[in-house]
Amino acid sequence: MRKIAHATLHPLRSLNLLSQAEIMAFSTTRRDLYQLFRDCALAILNTDSNKDDAAQIFAAYADFDIQLVPQPRGLKLEIFNAPAQSFVDGKMIRGIQDHLFSALRDIVYTDYKILGNSHGQGFSSVQITDMVFRILRNAGVVRPDVAPNLVVCWGGHSIPREEYDYAKVVGYELGLRGLDIVTGCGIGAMKGPMKGAAVGHAKQQIKAGRYIGISEPGIIASESPNAIVNELVIMPDIEKRLEAFVRLAHGIIVFPGGVGTVEEIFYLLSILIAADGTQGIPLVFAGPQSCRSYFEILDAFLRRCLGDEVANLYRIIIGAPDEVARTMKQAVESVHSARRESRDAYYFNWNLHIAESLQQPFIPTHENMAALNLDPSLPGDVLACQLRSAFSGMVAGNVKAFGIRQVEEHGPYRIHGDRNLLSAIDDLLRVLVKEKRMKLGEGEGEYKPCYELV
């Protein structure tokens, strides 16, 4: 494991000016904020790693350190014992350097300008949406002078080469049609569409292609930003990350993935079911021919959980990456027309109603996981929200430092609910484990579940 003993960095373009007081507080009295930035910085410097266990990454680089050094014209960063893959001939790769300062920008702005002394407690639904918008605006992501063209791509980071190549070809077809890409910023199905779109944009001589990566502190270590991302945003938590996706999206493509992808699907379906067709977001499930059975199983699972009518909210396309891109281009044009007629903003879907239960942070403690109400008699949008929380806990237990500690200390999460509903979940999880979509792993043997269905 190679490390760079010492490096000094200055901002390239992504950091707003910090006051001397902010820098001093960050380095002295706000050690919690410093630790948050230090962890995010290590994850960013660990780009393109094949590890997705945050605890392993932090342990491997326990001697990593990063310091903010005040300067008359701003600040610089001093880095010690950083992962060597972020450097070329002793100099940090510019995209990764920019990501570091993006993370600092978002962490400082969120804490000083938004959270203040509230520590994120007691915000209403309207205030949470405003918070999401302000963070995106501060990062320069929302742009009022740009027509709708943002396609959000979700999918797994632990995928075989064939699926990665397929996602890359879909991205290429999207890029040829002038569409920009938003993903969770990691590898696999998040990197593929961006890489393909970059080639498509180049062929069309589009020099300002956008590859937006949206992450949050809990997941960034297991999904380090890939090198294609040119706009990185760190949201405070997974709920605000998910809201940022759907507020920005003019269309969404879901590639095959694991429990994190299922969490994202349930989050979106909860919103679409509640909207009852009045606030649609174009949604396509797409994968190569080898993934036909994956989507058949996923479709059957969603129908078992939420009823057959849920299938009206999405379209499944197997193979045919050009058809995926044409479908998304047409959908984005329809969104454009609808937003123009309703005078809604192109750059941020203010009119989309998101239930407060989807916005409030779900903390995956054993008590909260056991208290989930997985009852098929619930309204579809409410049940989808509960299922989203269940899968969010599984994500935490798999790859997030907090969740891994919870499982190590207290054993697997115990999830209670209706027998038939839990049976559907168990069937899906067995498929995800069999297809090795739960974690990347390094040959440590069979997957050890972080959950127990009761």
CA distance 269 to 303: 12
Q: Is the pLDDT of residue 61 over 90?
A: no
Q: Is the pLDDT of residue 112 over 80?
A: no
Residue 11 is predicted with a pLDDT of 80
In our burial notation (b when 16+ CB lie closer than 10 A, e otherwise), range 338-363 reads: ebeeeebebbbbeebebeebbbeebb
Q: Is the pLDDT of residue 212 over 90?
A: yes
Pick from 284, 293, 224, 290: nearest CA to 255: 284
The model's confidence at residue 32, banded by pLDDT at 50, 70 and 90, is confident
Residue 28 is predicted with a pLDDT of 76
The rounded mean pLDDT for the chain is: 88
* Alpha helix (H) residue ranges in 12-112: 20-27, 31-45, 54-60, 94-109
The ranges assigned to domains in the chain are: 3-121, 144-342, 356-453
The model's confidence at residue 380, banded by pLDDT at 50, 70 and 90, is very high
Q: What percent of the chain has pLDDT over 90?
A: 54
Provide the 3-class DSSP secondary structure of residue 254: strand
137 alpha-carbon distance from chain centroid: 18
What average pLDDT does this structure show over 388-396? 91
List of residues 6+ apart from 304 with CB closer than 8 A: 420, 421, 424
Residue 123 is predicted with a pLDDT of 86
Residue 388 is predicted with a pLDDT of 96
Structure tokens at 178: 């002038």
Residue-wise pLDDT for 287-340, tens only, equals 999 999 999 999 999 999 999 999 999 999 999 999 999 999 999 999 999 888
Are 36 and 401 contacting, i.e. CB atoms less than 8 angstroms apart? Answer: no
Residue-wise pLDDT for 228-258, tens only, equals 999 999 999 999 999 999 999 999 999 999 9
Residue 290 is predicted with a pLDDT of 95
Residue-wise pLDDT for 263-286, tens only, equals 999 999 999 999 876 667 899 999
Q: Which CATH architecture has domain 144-342?
A: 3-Layer(aba) Sandwich (3.40)
Pick from 225, 290, 192: nearest CA to 95: 225
Residue-wise pLDDT for 427-445, tens only, equals 998 899 888 887 644 445 5
Are 214 and 184 contacting, i.e. CB atoms less than 8 angstroms apart? Answer: yes
In our burial notation (b when 16+ CB lie closer than 10 A, e otherwise), range 22-48 reads: bbebbbeebeebbebbbbbbbbbbbbe
The reported pTM is 0.91
CATH superfamily membership of 3-121: MoCo carrier protein-like (3.30.1850.10)
Are 157 and 223 contacting, i.e. CB atoms less than 8 angstroms apart? Answer: yes
